[in-house]
Chains A and B, each alone.
Chain A
Amino acid sequence: MLSEAFFAYRKDEIMNYAVETFDLNRTFKLKKEKKEKDKNENSKVVALENVNLKIHEGELFGLLGPNGAGKTTLIKILSTLLLPTSGTALVDGIDVVKNPEEVRKRINMVTGGEHCGYGILNVRETLWMFSQLYGIPNKKANEKIEELLKILDMEKFAKTKIGKLSTGMRQKLNVMRGFVCDPKIIFLDEPTLGLDVQVSRDVRKYVKTWLAENPERTVLLTTHYMAEADELCDRLAVIDQGKVLVCDSPQNLKKSLTKDAIFHIEVNLTLNGMEKFGEIPGVKKFAYEHKSHIGRTFLKFILEDESAISHVTESISDNGSKIVSLSKVEPSLEDVFVALVGRGLQDEN
Chain B
Amino acid sequence: MKTDLKTNIKAVIARAYVRIVAANREPSWWFTETLLPVLSIAAYVYVYKALKAPEEYTGFVILGGTMSAYWIMVLWSMAAQFYWEKEMGNLDLYMIAPISRMSILLGMASGGVLLTTTRAFAIFLAGSLIFKVSFSIISFPKLLAVFILTLVGLYGLGMLFSSLFLLYGREAWHGVTLLQEPVHLLSGFFFPVRSLGFGVALGASLIPLTLGLDAMRQLAFKTGAKSGFINVNLEIIALVILCILFLVLSKYAWDFMERLGKKEGRLSLRWQ
Identify the A interface with B (CB < 8 A): 26, 28-29, 76, 79-83, 101, 104-105, 107-109, 111, 114-118, 120-121, 125, 128-130, 132-136, 177
| Across-interface contacts of B92 in A (CB, < 8 A) | 81, 109, 111
Q: How far is the CA of A118 from the CA of B13 in the complex (A)?
A: 15
On B, residues with C-beta under 8 Å from A are 3, 6-7, 10-11, 13-15, 17-18, 21-22, 25-26, 88-90, 92-99, 259, 262-265, 267-268
Q: Return B84 CB to nearest CB of chain A, in Å.
A: 9
Inter-subunit contact B263/A83 (CB<8 Å): yes
Instruction: Give CA–CA (A196, B17) in the complex, Å.
Output: 33
A133 and B97 contact, CB distance less than 8 A: yes
Report which of B3, B21, B268 forms a contact with A120, defined as CB distance below 8 A: B21
Q: B96, A80: Cβ atoms under 8 Å?
A: yes
Contacting residues, chain A, for B97 (C-beta < 8 A)? 104, 130, 133-134
Q: Hey, which chain A residues are within 8 Å of B22, CB to CB? A: 118, 120
When C-beta atoms are compared, the residue in chain B nearest to A133 turns out to be: B97
What residues on A are CB-neighbors of B90 within 8 Å? 116-118
Measured CA separation A134–B262 after assembly (Å): 22
Most buried by A among B11, B22, B97, B98: B98
22 contacts between A and B (CB under 8 A): A26-B265, A81-B95, A81-B96, A81-B268, A83-B262, A101-B98, A104-B98, A109-B92, A116-B88, A117-B90, A118-B88, A125-B21, A129-B14, A129-B17, A132-B13, A133-B11, A133-B93, A133-B99, A134-B7, A134-B97, A134-B98, A177-B93
Q: A114 and B89: CB pair below 8 A?
A: yes
A117 / chain B contacts, CB cutoff of 8 Å: 88, 90
Besides A81-B267, A136-B10, 7 more A-B contacts (Cβ < 8 Å) are A105-B98, A114-B89, A116-B93, A118-B18, A121-B18, A128-B14, A134-B7
Q: Give the tally of cross-chain contacts (CB within 8 A).
A: 87
User: Contact between B94 and A133 (Cβ–Cβ < 8 Å)?
Assistant: yes
- The chain A residue sitting closest to B18, CB to CB, is A118
Neighbouring A residues of B17 by C-beta, 8 Å: 125, 129
Query: In the complex the two chains form, what is the Cα distance from A130 to B90 in whole Å?
Result: 10
Task: Tell me, rounded to whole Å, the shortest Cβ–Cβ distance linking B105 to chain A.
Answer: 13
Q: Inside 8 A of A134's CB, which chain B residues have their CB? A: 7, 97-98
Q: Report the minimum CB–CB distance from B86 to chain A (whole Å).
A: 12
Chain B residue contacts of A101, Cβ below 8 A: 98
A7 to chain B, nearest CB (A): 28
Docked pose: A104 CA to B7 CA in angstroms: 13
Interface centre among A26, A76, A79, A82 (most CB of B within 10 A): A82
Name the one of A82, A109, A136 contacting B267, with C-beta atoms under 8 angstroms.
A82
Contact between B93 and A130, CB atoms less than 8 A apart? yes
| Minimal Cβ-Cβ distance residue in A for B89 | A114
| Chain B: minimal CB distance from A242 (Å) | 14
CB distance from A318 to the nearest CB of B (A): 47
Q: Specify which of A26, A104, A111, A120 lies most central, judged by the most chain B CB atoms within 10 Å of its CB.
A: A120
* A115 and B88 contact, CB distance less than 8 A: yes
Determine the chain A residues whose CB is within 8 A of the CB of B268 once the complex forms: 76, 81-82
Q: Which residues of B contact A177 (CB under 8 A)?
A: 93
User: Which 5 residue pairs spanning A and B have beta carbons closest together?
Assistant: A135-B7, A132-B14, A133-B97, A104-B98, A132-B10
* CB-defined contacts of B18 to chain A, threshold 8 Å: 118, 120-121, 129
Cα distance A80–B263 in the bound complex, in angstroms: 11
Residues in B whose Cβ lies below 8 Å from that of A133:
7, 10-11, 14, 93-94, 97-99
Q: What separation, in Å, do the CA atoms of A128 and B18 have in the docked complex?
A: 11
